[in-house]
Amino acid sequence: MDPLDLARWQFGIITVYHFLFVPITIGLSAIVAGYETAWVRTRNPVWLRLTKFFGKLFLINFALGVVTGIVQEFQFGMNWSDYSRFVGDIFGAPLAVEGLLAFFLESTFLGLWIFGWDRLSPRLHATCIWLVHLGTLFSAYFILAANSWMQHPVGYSYNPKTGRAELHDFFAVLLNKVQLATFPHVVMSAYLTAAAFVLGVSLWSMQRNEGAVKEIFRRAVRTGAALLLVAGVGVAITGDISGKIMTEVQPMKMAAAEGLYDTQTKAPFSILEWGSLNGEHHTSIIEVPGLLSFLGTGSFNGEIKGVNQLRAEYQAKYGADPGQKYYSPGNYTPMIPVTYWSFRFMIGLGLLAAAIAIAILFVTRRGRAPNSRWWTRAAIALPLLPVAANSFGWIFTEIGRQPWAVFGVMTTAQGVSPSVSAFDVWTSMILLTLLYAVLAVIEVKLLLTTIKAGLPEDAPPADDSDDLDRPLAFAY
């Protein structure tokens, strides 16, 4: 394998691994803040115990997410120096604001929340975790703004003297139409993922406890299931909006997601089809007439451009050979089997999680608490389904843009570091993969240990806010 192959694999491994933690961090910070707010308003110790239990799980996940996120920045300079040089002026502003504003907000108020249980008033303490959640949203917004620029570059001009893209309208980047559709979709997905995490953990814990503790986890099961369904509706609505924006600015990605080779009106959405690995033809097995046209245009009679027509259109617009290896000259077609199946896994796994949540709401109604082994299996699967769906969604988003790193501007092959060797990339990829394997073992062990330990004791924190001389204390 050459350095480009290896750099692509390394980017995929590192980014997918990091993205396992991000949605849980965003969504779980909101759920913990909601539990603590419920405790502040009602003084019901049930909400306080859930706040501390899931707060500890949130901290474990947050720590691993920060560590793996730092590595992301190193690999840009290591394997993608030409890309970094080209987009540095564009990415500098949103990523700098993300670091100075969002991460500062997260880390500062997370520290106050961790050490402030016995020092801050309950209202002020709850405000801290809400500000942490606000910081995670800011962080997501600015990072997605940078990624959305790669999908739909706006607010810049190309300087032929420096060979770089130069920013001239920061707000155009922040208000990019792709960004405005992507951000709410990602946030809703994060809420769904965290809700599934709470639901799975609570369902598993409910089956292993009795009495008051079982009832507390049953309450968490129902709140988690309800939040999952609400977030699922949000994911569907925002996903529909994203699909229409994608059809407008990246029609090849939509055509590849459906394996649609020729332009059609009343285009069907295929539930299942069989295609060739070289992406030349397909055979539909199950399809819904007109649904793809509706998803892409808002009309069941709308026109969706096919791969063959778009390929000719791109050749006329961008030239004959934008890529080098992965795509034959003038192909402009992403890997259709990957885009097709990642798109369906993204949707299918999210729908499966929602279906399980509906079933759980039904079986836990009127104080019931099922103990069947099937629900134990569901509890284990629930946190994993949205996490896998998120990963497939990210793979679809990035693979569907190929051969472009920046759509219509720079190919992935042009962005790789010219001086990096295959040995260099092999070495860093093996070391990082081993490091991530160790981190995965630590993460899973910490989570399982905390979950098995169960709820903390029913002891509300003392309100010592008037004791200004008392040092901060670590709550866990």
The pLDDT of residue 323: 47
| Cα–Cα distance for residue pair 432/17, rounded to 1 Å | 11
Q: What are the CA-CA distances from residue 79 to residues 347, 394, 397, 413, 414 (Å)?
A: 32, 20, 21, 11, 12
Cβ atoms within 10 Å, residue 185: 22
The pLDDT of residue 327: 45
| Cα–Cα distance for residue pair 437/106, rounded to 1 Å | 26
H/E segment holding residue 405: strand 404-406
The one-digit pLDDT tens for each residue of the chain (476 residues) are 788 889 999 888 888 888 888 999 999 999 999 999 999 999 999 999 999 999 999 999 988 888 887 777 778 888 888 888 888 888 888 888 887 788 888 889 999 999 988 888 999 999 999 999 999 999 999 999 999 999 999 998 888 788 788 888 999 999 999 999 999 999 999 999 999 999 999 999 998 888 888 899 999 999 999 999 999 999 999 999 998 999 999 999 988 888 888 888 888 888 776 666 555 666 666 788 888 888 888 888 888 888 888 888 888 888 765 544 444 455 788 888 889 889 999 999 999 999 999 999 999 888 887 878 888 888 899 999 999 999 999 999 999 888 888 988 888 888 888 888 888 889 988 988 888 888 889 989 999 999 998 888 766 555 555 555 555 554 45
The pLDDT of residue 74: 78
Q: What are the CA-CA distances from residue 95 to residues 66, 89, 146, 170, 449 (Å)?
A: 15, 11, 8, 12, 35
DSSP classification of residue 101? I
| Cα–Cα distance for residue pair 16/22, rounded to 1 Å | 10
| Cα–Cα distance for residue pair 455/91, rounded to 1 Å | 43
Q: Where are the beta strands (DSSP E) in 251-302?
A: 264-265, 269-275, 282-288
Give this prediction's pTM.
0.89
Q: What are the CA-CA distances from residue 198 to residues 58, 64, 68, 221, 232 (Å)?
A: 11, 18, 23, 7, 15
